[in-house]
């Protein structure tokens, strides 16, 4: 035991001596080595990004280089004049020190508003209406990117290394913030081996897995872009179209990461690769089936002169088709989210179905008297009727702006009516009655459907309403087209044979495919896009009518319908929506279109 203890003490002393010897050797080596040149932002003479005031930046001309990212750092701190915390000051200094060749702009609430007021006055009212300053700070950073480009980072972002390598790794050129603004760019920047240089925007990713799903998968605390990328106007349009966000009152859903993730999804669907092509196909499909349905119905009704029975056949086919889809496919599974009882069906679905039936019958009756082009011009008055009915039901508040817009559309439609060569009062009355039926149907949907129950998609709506409409139309047909009393000729069943069962089946399928095309499009595009697409759709329909039937269109009608379309755009989008679309177009025109290729972020 004594020997063992002595051995342990000897081993401990020996280990201590070896440790001290190693420490002395390391100290000697360290003192003999030359001092290392460490680059640290807080040395005696640091190099920082040049500070630039927001007002100085606002006074510069807009850039025409839509490809290169300017070396311009944007950050924001509010309220104006308040002191920044010590930690925030330290993080800001790291951002400037790690990127000394860049310029640095610190915005505040006052200069943010000045930016909106100067360059986006059409957005100022909605900007001021945002409930909190954090909302305004969130949305205005997108305008930094769209107007100036560069890089934005929250003030709590610490820079660990320069960012130039990040953009170089994605073949994205950088430039001095003032070079292209002063006109040195020739518009001919190209990548090696490619004809065009892509315009890339950058966003961060914070999710634990790939993809855009998750409440903060795409944070808005860091972003970079060349100026003029169209994505950055989407958050602005989102605020205009959804002033309450998703209804939960959260910052995230209105201007924060949740909204950004949603808009990024939408951007990829509209512009990004295969998803973008799919969205284009959906819109083309809707335009095709909508116009084909109208032209097919016009041709059949002129041939058979039994529009009510034809409408009844459409609705019977729709009833059978939706029943098949409901019980044999998953396409109508969303109907289970709506708890439908007999009392609820009678109170909500039946009134809506009766109005829908009246709209379909009177609309098809119009084809007996008027040509397709004139009918489309009369349909431009639809928003007027809907708004007047909404005022009557007190679900909308009258305003001078709406009233003036109504007068413009009404006068424009009046010009189109005055210029019509083949004018028939009976057809005009049927079309106006159809618009009244449809307007009341739309308002009744808004009034009767329970709040919070969720909207029905078009196929589910057709599933519930088609049987009611088919039964209603059948009753109407019994007293009109099938009535053989009092000397009435009644329906000539030989028309079915002469027309052909295949033609009638194809006609019903075309009408049903229109509902399917709306079903696959709904939720995949914005109301703004639908409105813009509907304008060329209606013009194409008028051209087809002129080519197929030789429908006469006078210059006065062209003028009136053109004015009505402009009025409808203003009615549907508002001045802000129209200007935001123009901003996108104008920015692209300012760039060199032959050398700029837009890519999804």
Spell out the domain ranges in the chain: 50-271, 279-574
Residues of the chain with pLDDT under 70: 1-12, 30-46, 177-197, 207-216, 245-249, 269-280, 421, 446-455, 484-490, 519-533, 535, 571-601
Whether the model clears a pTM of 0.75, i.e. scores above it, the answer is no
What is the Cα–Cα distance from 263 to 269, expressed in whole angstroms?
10
Could you tell me if 353 and 465 are in contact, meaning their C-beta atoms sit under 8 angstroms apart? yes
What is the Cα–Cα distance from 526 to 234, expressed in whole angstroms?
11
Q: What is the pLDDT of residue 147?
A: 92
What is the Cα–Cα distance from 550 to 422, expressed in whole angstroms?
12
Query: b/e string for 139-152 if b means 16 or more Cβ within 10 A?
Result: bbbbbbbbbbbbbb
What is the Cα–Cα distance from 325 to 333, expressed in whole angstroms?
9
Angle at 518 between CA 508 and CA 266, to 5 degrees: 160
The 8-class DSSP code of residue 224 comes to: E
Q: What is the pLDDT of residue 200?
A: 87
**Residues 33-80 pLDDT 10s:** 665 544 444 444 568 999 999 999 999 988 888 889 999 999 999 887
Q: Please provide residue 152's backbone torsions phi and psi, each rounded to the nearest 5 degrees.
A: -110, 140
Q: What is the pLDDT of residue 181?
A: 40
What is the Cα–Cα distance from 156 to 448, expressed in whole angstroms?
49
The domain over range 50-271 is classified in CATH as 3.90.550.20: yes
DSSP letter string, 164-197:
HHHHHTTT--EE-TTTTTTT---S----TT-SSE
Q: What is the pLDDT of residue 33?
A: 61
Could you tell me if 150 and 70 are in contact, meaning their C-beta atoms sit under 8 angstroms apart? yes
Q: Outline where DSSP puts E strands in 37-96.
A: 50-52, 69-70, 72-76
Query: Can you read off the two tokens belonging to residue 205?
Result: 């990713």
Q: What is the pLDDT of residue 451?
A: 46
What is the Cα–Cα distance from 306 to 474, expressed in whole angstroms?
12
In this structure, the number of other CB atoms found within 10 A of the CB of residue 488 comes to 11
Distance of CA 416 to the CA centre of its chain: 32
Distance of CA 315 to the CA centre of its chain: 32
Could you tell me if 457 and 400 are in contact, meaning their C-beta atoms sit under 8 angstroms apart? no
Query: Can you read off the two tokens belonging to residue 188?
Result: 């001919």
What is the Cα–Cα distance from 565 to 377, expressed in whole angstroms?
9
Say if residue 79 is preceded by a cis peptide, omega within 30 of 0: yes
Cα–Cα distance list, 358 to 17, 123, 264, 432, 553 (Å): 104, 41, 41, 12, 29
Cα–Cα distance list, 357 to 351, 360, 362, 424, 584 (Å): 10, 5, 9, 23, 42
């Amino acid at each position: 035991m004594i020997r063992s203890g002595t051995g342990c003490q000897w081993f401990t002393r020996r280990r201590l001596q070896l440790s001290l010897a190693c420490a002395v050797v390391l100290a000697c080596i360290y003192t003999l080595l030359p001092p290392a040149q460490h680059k640290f932002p807080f040395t005696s003479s640091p190099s920082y990004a040049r500070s630039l005031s927001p007002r100085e930046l606002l006074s510069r001309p807009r850039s025409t280089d839509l490809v290169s990212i300017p070396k311009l750092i944007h950050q924001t701190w509010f309220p104006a004049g308040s002191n920044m915390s010590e930690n925030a000051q330290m993080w800001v200094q790291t951002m400037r020190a790690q990127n000394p060749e860049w310029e640095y702009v610190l915005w505040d609430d006052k200069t943010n508003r000045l930016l909106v007021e100067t360059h986006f006055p059409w957005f100022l009212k909605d900007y001021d209406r945002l409930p909190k300053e954090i909302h305004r700070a969130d949305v205005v950073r997108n305008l930094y990117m769209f107007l100036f480009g560069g890089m934005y980072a929250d003030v709590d972002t610490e820079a660990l290394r320069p960012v130039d390598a990040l953009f170089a790794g994605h073949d994205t050129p950088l430039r001095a913030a003032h070079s292209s603004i002063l006109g040195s760019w020739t518009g001919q920047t190209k990548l090696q081996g490619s004809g065009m240089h892509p315009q890339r925007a950058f966003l961060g990713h914070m999710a634990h897995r790939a993809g855009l799903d998750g409440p903060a998968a795409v944070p808005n605390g860091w972003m970079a872009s060349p100026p003029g990328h169209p994505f950055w106007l989407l958050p602005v349009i989102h605020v205009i179209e959804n002033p309450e966000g998703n209804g939960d009152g959260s910052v995230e859903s209105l201007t924060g990461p949740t909204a950004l993730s949603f808009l990024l999804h939408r951007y990829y669907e509209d512009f990004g690769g295969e998803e973008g092509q799919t969205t284009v196909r959906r819109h083309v499909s809707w335009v095709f089936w909508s116009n084909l349905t109208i032209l097919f119905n016009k041709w059949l009704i002129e041939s058979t002169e039994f529009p009510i029975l034809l409408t009844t056949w459409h609705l019977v086919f729709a009833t059978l088709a939706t029943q098949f889809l409901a019980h044999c496919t998953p396409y109508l599974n969303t109907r289970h989210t709506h708890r439908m009882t007999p009392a609820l069906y009678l109170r909500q679905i039946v009134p809506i179905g009766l109005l829908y039936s009246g709209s379909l019958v009177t609309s098809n009756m119009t084809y007996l008297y008027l040509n397709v082009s004139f009918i489309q011009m009369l349909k431009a008055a639809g928003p007027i009727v809907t708004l007047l009915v909404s005022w009557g039901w007190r679900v909308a508040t009258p305003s001078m702006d709406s009233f003036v817009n109504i007068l413009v559309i009404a006068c424009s439609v009046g010009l189109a009516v005055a210029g019509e060569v083949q004018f028939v009062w009976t057809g005009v009355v049927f079309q106006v009655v159809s618009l009244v039926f449809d307007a009341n149907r739309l308002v009744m949907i808004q009034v009767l459907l329970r709040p919070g129950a969720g909207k029905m998609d078009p196929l589910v709506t057709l599933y519930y309403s088609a049987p009611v409409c088919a039964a209603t139309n059948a009753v109407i047909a019994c007293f009109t087209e099938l009535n053989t009393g009092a000397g009435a000729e009644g329906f000539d069943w030989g028309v079915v044979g002469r027309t052909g069962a295949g033609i009638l089946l194809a006609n019903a399928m075309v009408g049903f495919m229109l509902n399917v095309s709306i079903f696959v499009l709904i939720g995949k595009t914005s109301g703004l896009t639908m409105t813009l697409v509907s304008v060329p759709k209606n013009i194409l329909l008028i051209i087809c009518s002129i080519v197929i039937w030789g429908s006469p269109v006078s210059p006065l009608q062209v003028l009136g319908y053109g004015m009505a379309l402009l009025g409808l755009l203003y009615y549907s989008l508002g001045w802000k929506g129209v200007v935001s679309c123009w901003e996108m177009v104008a920015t692209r025109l300012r760039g060199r279109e032959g050398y700029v290729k837009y890519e999804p972020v």
